[in-house]
Structure 1
């Protein structure tokens, strides 16, 4: 559940990736392009899924994606992931992204989404997630 009134709540799960937003990552409004943020969220989820199943995984769905606050040039984004569910071949992971300014002063939740990954074999076919 996404709580729009509490953008400063503590992140759930583990820090999976942290990176700096640069000028080349902006959209036409001068804010960081949402697709850039999503790509880092996907990488964060991928690292959590691979750690869990110790195999290749692929992204199959992104649900409940909500952008709450813009990311600015010079912000560090931190993507936190929490494994919500493990199915026979799939894993569902909540990714929350927070931004801090370059001096670490403000800390705010900027987006959240539910990512689903499927474990695959060498031929790209779904394979059971090992327990």
Structure 2
């Protein structure tokens, strides 16, 4: 996690590039009014797939979620931003670090920006038949 100093206070910053940004909607909430972990995980999967598709130059599929940590809850109306970072490229696989950062715009405390979730996702590049394919060297450079 990146750190920066502002007025002698340490602030943490997202690690990776923005790959997806959306608003948490009421249809994504559970009975407690918090956003379902499954919905958050799906946003992470979409964001990681975007980065992996760009790297591999084609289709990818999710093969493994190595770890996922739900750190803070997300509420309806919050702005959810997904950051993705390349960790490793194999012959056919791509390992990514995914972070969800949340901004409170309609819930208390307003304007607060924090990391809500982090995970490691592994994708495999696939061909038109759904079989693993080699990641082109040009994609790696």
With the length of structure 2 as denominator, give the TM-score of the two structures: 0.85
Q: Which runs of 5+ in 2 are unaligned?
A: 2-10
Does residue 108 of the first structure (1) align with residue 111 of the second (2)?
no
Partner of 1:9, secondary structure, is strand
Q: Deviations over 1:41-72 (max 9, x none)?
A: 10000000000011110000111100000000
1:119 alignment counterpart: 125
CA distance in 2, matches of 1:85, 1:60: 14
Tell me if 1:96 matches 2:99: yes
Counterpart of 2:30?
A: 27
In structure 2, how many angstroms separate the alpha carbons of the residues matched to 1:102 and 1:120? 39
> Residue 64 in 1 paired to residue 67 in 2?
yes
Cα distance in 2 for residues equivalent to 1:101 and 1:38: 19
Q: TM-score, normalised by structure 1?
A: 0.91
What does the per-residue CA deviation read over 1:73-94, in whole Å, with 9 as the maximum and x for residues that have no partner? Answer: 1101000000000000000000
- The question of 1:36 aligning with 2:42 is answered no
Give 5+ residue unaligned stretches, structure 1: 2-7
Shift in Å, 1:105 = 1.1
Shift in Å at residue 25 of structure 1? 0.7
Distance in 1 separating the partners of 2:87 and 2:33? 34
Report SS of the residue matched to 2:81. Answer: strand
